[in-house]
Amino acid sequence: MKTITKAAGASIMAMVLAAPVMAQTTITGVRDVNDRIDDINEIVEEDMQRAEDAARFGNPEGRQGLSGSASIGYSGKTGNNESQEFSGGVRLSYAQGNFVQTLGAAVDFAEDSVGKTKEDIFAVYDANYYFDRSFYGFVLARLESDGLASTAGDVRRDGFIGFGPGYRVVNTPDMTWRVQAGIGVSYLEDGLRNSVTETGYLAASRFYYKINDNVFVTNDTDVLSSDSALRANNDLGVNFKVTDAVSTRVSYLTEYNDNRAIRTDNKLGVSLVFGF
């Protein structure tokens, strides 16, 4: 299926700002604007790529063995203001027959003349074993850490590990629907290092329907239940390929948590990729 997230070209503004005669200095702010445009383009395209759901057709017939990517970024500033920033990320995949494992990790550190301003760590491990084209088992582990959390209202560590079965109810080129459910352990620690460990039950649904060559609909649902809270997210999206150069995604995200004063948050999102 042709991916609609590839723009046919860049906008006129992006091409002008990227011209060599304009990119020689940052005093005028031209390079900063160009970098910001690149950031926006990346966010929009990633949003639309997630809607495609590369895993919707089951065990991908991709590269066997080990593969992945890594990136590191550092910046240091001296003078009137002193600061340092470091970020790094790695994504690894290991496939051996019907067993596919992925590992992703990212770190983000920053400090200025006063002290540390950011100390974040993220890590996710996902393993799937495909018994056949419809039935599979999964193991999922996640960890988020904020080293600067210092109050009871801050989350210092948030971790979860769980496992369970999954099943593909429908698996055709025009419609896919898979569901999975499992049990796991949730760990939560606040900024005062008070922690709670409890059993959690999770369920998820991934639905994709291709209306025609230009329009498809997705609906992703995740539910996590534990003694402390019932949390549920639902992301409904409609994706339009207006022309070969113009693609649009409209999404509506609902987040529910019965442990909050206002239990439900709603978010409307519109993404547009175009070129000429």
- Indicate the domain borders of the chain: 12-274
- Concatenating the DSSP letter of every residue in 87-103 gives EEEEEEEEEETTEEEEE
Does domain 12-274 correspond to CATH entry 2.40.160?
A: yes
Q: What percent of the chain has pLDDT over 70?
A: 77
The reported pLDDT for the residue numbered 2 is 35
Distances in Å between the alpha carbon of 212 and those of 27, 100, 217?
Answer: 49, 31, 10
pLDDT-derived band at 118 (thresholds 50, 70, 90) equals: very high
pLDDT-derived band at 72 (thresholds 50, 70, 90) equals: very high
- pTM summary value: 0.73
The reported pLDDT for the residue numbered 253 is 94
Does the pLDDT value for residue 54 go beyond 70?
no
- Distance of alpha carbon 258 from alpha carbon 262, whole angstroms: 8
Does the pLDDT value for residue 16 go beyond 50?
no
Cross-strand bridge partners of residue 202: 182, 224
CB 103 within 8 A of CB 91: yes
Reported as a single tens digit per residue, the pLDDT across 137-148 is 999 999 999 999
Instruction: Please tell me the number of Cα atoms within 13 Å of 144 on its side-chain side.
Output: 7
Reported as a single tens digit per residue, the pLDDT across 229-271 is 889 999 999 988 777 677 888 999 999 988 788 999 999 988 8
Which residues have a Cβ under 8 Å from the Cβ of 171 and sit 6 or more positions away?
Answer: 57, 58, 133, 134, 178
Does the pLDDT value for residue 6 go beyond 60?
no
The residue written with tokens 């498809």 in the block is: 216
Reported as a single tens digit per residue, the pLDDT across 145-194 is 999 999 988 889 999 899 999 999 998 888 999 999 999 998 989 899 99
